[in-house]
Chain A
Amino acid sequence: MAIILKDYLDAIQAQVLTPDINTSEISIVDGYVSDMLSDVMGTAKEGQVWITIMRHMNTVAVASMTNIPCVIFAKGLTPDAAVIDRAILEDVCLAASDKQAFDLAGILYKMLGK
């Protein structure tokens, strides 16, 4: 089952950091939770939302290399403006939520009907 990214972002009351990216047109089929970038590169798949607390420039590079459409920063963490600029350039949606990773994943799991 796939869901619309916007519906998930609304459900987790996310603050969207890249407003120009149209989240109504992005479909999400799964999620991945990890803070180790090589783990994400080895395991995450296209169409997955990536939930993490890593907010360096490398996070955007990894999402872009692996075709991950959206990164959710947990626990209200937000990256620097330079990181957001890079994400816009690479067409990667960034969003922040006050919820912690377990809850963010749980809500997605439910919405996907897994």
Chain B
Amino acid sequence: MSSEKARLATMWFYGCSGCHMSFLDLDERLVDLAKVATLVHSPIVDIKHFPPDVALTLIEGAVANVEQVETLREVRKRTKLLVSLGDCAVTGNVTALRNAWEHGDRAVLERAYADPSNLNAQIPNLVPKLLDYARPLHEIVKIDHYIPGCPPNADQIYYVVGELLAGRQPVMEGRSKYG
């Protein structure tokens, strides 16, 4: 039975997890969703590698470092439908605030790690290199659907996921909402 269920995945890049909170806000509708889909990868399940043959993947967050670019390209190959979930994924949003500064990549690292008020202030060299600009997902790979919102509400997510799993095209006029 479970093998007939659609393989669903969620991911996050540079976001605040708010979009995932909204996803969890589906509440009892998660039970309905579980009847038709099985969650094969997500920050809320403990599976390290992104699996193959995924039907639908929702991604929260903007792409902001080199590692995420690679991961996103890999996810694109392994999933049939890719959805940008929330404003950070759709526009860059708060993650992209740094884009307006020259050398914003450097500025955020300095602010986070090298602030003089920190003890032993230094920028770690283990973190993947930041891109000069934080990017919305569709600037890196082809995206099939967008759910704007900061965060999008549970009704919007349920509607889009439901339509896509049923093989229909969601209509966003009057339903999408930036901010």
Asked if A and B are interacting partners, one says no
Interface residues of B (CB under 8 A from A): none
Interface residues of A (CB under 8 A from B): none
